[in-house]
Amino acid sequence: MNQIRENKDNYVWTNAIDEMFRVCREIRIFPVVDLDANNAEVINNVIDCCKSKYYVETVKTNYEFQKGADKLLVIKKCETKEYIANLGINNNNL
Helices (H), the chain: 2-20, 41-50, 81-87
pTM over 0.85: no
Q: Residue 20 has what pLDDT? A: 93
Rounded to whole angstroms, the Cα distance separating 87 from 56 reads 20
Q: Residue 41 has what pLDDT? A: 79
25: nearest Cα among 75, 91, 94: 75
Contact 17, 27 (CB under 8 A): yes
Assign residue 68 a region: left if phi > 0, alpha if psi is -120 to 50, beta otherwise?
Answer: left
Q: Residue 5 has what pLDDT? A: 57
Q: Residue 28 has what pLDDT? A: 93
Q: Residue 79 has what pLDDT? A: 63
26: nearest Cα among 76, 62, 86: 76
Mean pLDDT by 10 residues, the chain (94 residues): 61 88 92 83 85 89 86 83 58 43
